[in-house]
A and B are shown apart, each in its own frame.
Chain A
Amino acid sequence: MLGHLKLMAVSAIALTAAVQSASARDLVIAGWGGNYQDVQREVYFRPFAADKGIGFTEATYLGGLVEAKTMADTGNVTWDLVIVEGADLQVGCDEGLFEEIDWSQVPLKDELIPEAVQPCGAGNVVIGTGLAYNRDTVGEAPTSLADFFDTVKWPGKRGLRAGPRFNLELVLMADGVAPADVYKVLSTPEGLDRAFARLAPLRKDLQFWDAGAQPVEWLAANNVAMTFSYNARITAAKNEGKPLEFLWVNPIYSIDAWAIPTGAPNRELALEFINYANDAARQAAFSTRMPYGTTNVKAPELMTPEAAAEIPAGANIETGLFFSDAFWIDNGDAIAERWNAWVTQ
């Protein structure tokens, strides 16, 4: 009998102990995983935490607003910082899911490109998205986005980011639409039909990725013959000796920004981090290893010419397209619905 009571008492105590959540917690930073987050950790997270004498915990983020919305609805804000895409930043900001940034607390503001200074976010990197391949297995190297669609010359699976964003733009450019006209065409029903029609012959060969590290892995393992991917992940893997290449023809460039979920317990610290991450020298160090573009205008001068040549800027994006957040905020749901229907046909 006593033993039984003891068991119950122990269980009650253990449960309470398990339930207790940390009261003063580490700075929690959510990033996009893979080598992107590895370099962020070394250039930003670790030194910042060491500077402040605090601990930090990392989370993986796969895009979207689910986590931010859940945090806002339940009041249980588990992240202090998250690096988001422009469209999500704006929607989240409008709905009050992200804290408004007090830019007066960010001394480095004046060194930033204007697109980086947002009401609820601080642009930190410029991402290039385009065609990538494995030069050891691809055979003849592709030279244009149109080659992505040539499954006769290049048989094998094709990797695409899950969902229609980025993909439809790249498809239209592959179909000969000039970058400046892409969103004009995409706004019309005929343009949308055109994009889907161009993609239709590939449907059976597509494989969709959620995490930016996946296309890199897939290319390296030869699971796909070509893929759309983010430029820096490919180049960073290449610099580590993997036989991967990114094609700087008609890339799309977009901005990832740091945002603070509303009610984050460490929001003052998070704001300090935002300033910290916009320092020219640190951005240069980051982009040297992870060649995304910088948002601090002084950063490229601090990089070697070879490193600066790998980032989505200058000649690399001459044939490029600046990703439109506004287009996707308005039309994203309808197009995503059609996309899903098309994928599952």
Chain B
Amino acid sequence: MSKVVYWVSLSFAFFFLAAPLLIVLPLAFNDSSFLTYPMEGFTFRWFGVFFDTPPWLSSLANSFKVALGTTLAALLIGGLAAMGVMLLGRWGRIVMSALFVSPLVIPSVVLGVAMAYAFGRAGWGGGYLSLVFAHTILAAPLVFLAVTTSLMGLDPELDRAAASMGASRWRRFHTVTLPLAMPGFATGALFAFITSFDEVVVALFLSTPQTQTLPITLFSSLRDRLEPTIVVVALLLSIVSCLFILALNRLQRRGAGR
């Protein structure tokens, strides 16, 4: 009896978790302008619509630009922060870690309002710059966490051994610490990229027609009309997520295999 309850609840939960995307995404290939089953035929034509109709393609390009800029900036900021925090005492570590991680719990709408106002007044409004700035703040905490995790896993003996052989602090840092923390950076880079690539709310406040990102175009299309192109975009974004997970998986396996 308890087994039945377990399997029924598990099946329901699993279905609820996995089914919506599995059901909806195939409609990207449906040869009908209605998003319903049964499918009327298999077609790639909605992909054609995606590539031909502005602003889909340009917003995809914008998303890549912003996500790349964000990844690099977040790696720098989050990475430096993680390495710096490791060198602090207990309380310094707690306080600074809290600061560096805190953007994760601030509601995005609040960040959006704050940044739209402050960046606008600073004269950065509208361009890629403001989007990269905003996304860097959202992504840096993830890089920070990823790098901190990998640094914490480091064997302090290695550093001590290098020191005992007379290696300078800086030399030890870039020959011992940094290479070992590399998986953390790589994971952080993935986190940062996907965070920026998928971000909607803050971008809603900051993007302009010239810098409009893919999620923003998707959001306004969702309010505009439900057409299969929307599912095409959802599918493309899901594929990016899958690639991301594959990359993450490989990274972790390499880390574990070392």
Given a CB threshold of 8 Å, the question of whether A touches B is answered with yes
B54 to chain A: which residues have CB within 8 Å?
57-58
Beta-carbon contact of A217 and B226 below 8 Å:
yes
B120 touches A10 (CB 8 A): no
CB neighbours (8 Å) of A21 from chain B are 127-128, 210
Q: Which residue of chain A is the closest to B119 with respect to CB atoms?
A: A74
Question: B129 at the A/B interface (Cβ < 8 Å)?
Answer: yes
A4:B178 contact, CB within 8 angstroms: yes
Q: Is the CB of B178 within 8 A of A60?
A: no
Residue interface mask A216-254, B partner, CB < 8 A = 1: 110001000000000000000000000000000000000
Docked complex Cα distance between A214 and B225 (Å) = 7
Which among A28-36, A144-152, A335-343 touches the partner chain?
A28-36
In the complex, A14 Cα to B120 Cα: how many Å?
23
A70, closest chain B residue (CB) = B120
Q: How many pairs, one residue from A and one from B, have CB atoms within 8 Å of each other in the complex?
A: 89
When chains A and B are docked, how far (Å) is the Cα of A108 from the Cα of B174?
A: 71
CA–CA, A74 and B118, complex, Å:
11
Assuming A70-B116, A74-B120, A210-B223, what are 8 further A-B pairs, CB within 8 angstroms? Answer: A4-B174, A11-B76, A15-B132, A18-B69, A28-B209, A57-B209, A59-B209, A60-B220
Give residues 187-219 of A contacting B (CB, 8 Å): 210-211, 213-214, 216-217
A-B contact pairs, 24 of them (CB 8 A): A4-B174, A4-B178, A7-B75, A18-B68, A19-B69, A19-B127, A19-B128, A19-B129, A21-B127, A30-B209, A34-B225, A57-B209, A58-B209, A59-B208, A60-B224, A70-B120, A73-B120, A76-B125, A78-B208, A211-B224, A213-B224, A214-B223, A217-B224, A221-B226
Contacts of B224 in A (CB 8 A): 33-34, 60, 211, 213-214, 217
Across-interface contacts of B75 in A (CB, < 8 A): 7, 11
Write the residues of chain A forming the contact surface with B, with a CB cutoff of 8 angstroms. Answer: 1, 4, 7-8, 10-11, 14-15, 18-22, 25, 28, 30, 33-34, 57-60, 70, 73-76, 78-79, 210-211, 213-214, 216-217, 221
Chain B residues lying within 8 Å of A4, measured Cβ to Cβ, are 174, 178
Residues of chain B within 8 A of A216, CB atoms compared: 225
Cβ-based interface call for B66 (8 A)? yes
Contact A22 B210 (CB under 8 A): yes
Residues on the B chain within 8 Å of A221, using CB? 226
- Range, interface on chain B: 20 to 34
- Using CB atoms and an 8 Å cutoff, list the residues of chain B in contact with chain A: 54-55, 58, 65-66, 68-69, 72-73, 75-76, 116, 120-121, 123, 125-129, 132, 174, 178, 208-210, 212, 220, 223-226
How near does chain A come to B199, taking the closest CB pair, in angstroms? Answer: 15
Contact of B123 among A1, A18, A75, A217 (CB under 8 A): A75
Name the CB-closest residue of B to A209. Answer: B223
A76, B127: Cβ atoms closer than 8 Å: yes
B216 nearest CB neighbor, chain A only: A60
Asked whether, in the complex, the Cβ of B210 is within 8 Å of the Cβ of A14, the reply is no
CA distance A79 to B128 in the complex (A): 16
Q: What is the CB-to-nearest-CB distance from A97 to chain B, in angstroms, rounded to a whole number?
A: 15
Asked if B66 and A18 sit within 8 Å, CB to CB, the answer is yes
Interface hub of B125, B132, B174, B212 (most chain A Cβ within 10 A) = B125
Whole-angstrom distance between the alpha carbons of A278 and B28 in the complex? 39
- Whole-angstrom CA separation of A22 from B121 in the bound complex: 21
Q: Could you tell me the distance between the alpha carbons of A1 and B178 in the complex, rounded to whole angstroms?
A: 9
Q: State whether B55 touches A1 (Cβ < 8 A).
A: no
Complex interface: chain B residues within 8 A of A8 (CB): 76
Bound CA span A73–B121, Å? 8
Q: Are B55 and A58 in contact (CB under 8 A)?
A: yes
User: Within the assembled complex, what's the spacing in Å between the Cα atoms of A282 and B65?
Assistant: 38
**Residue in B121, B129, B174, B225 whose CB lies within 8 Å of A1:** B174
Residue pair B128, A18 in contact (C-beta under 8 Å)? yes
Q: Of B54, B210, B212, which is in contact with the most chain A CB atoms at under 10 Å from its CB?
A: B210
Q: Which residue of A lies closest to B64 (CB)?
A: A18
Residues of B within 8 A of A18 (CB): 65-66, 68-69, 128-129, 132
Cα–Cα, bound, A210→B223 (Å):
8
- Selected from B72, B125, B127, B223, the residue in CB contact (under 8 A) with A70 is B125
The residue from A75, A79, A213 contacting B225, defined by CB atoms under 8 A apart = A213
The distance from the CB of B67 to the nearest CB of chain A, in whole angstroms, is 10
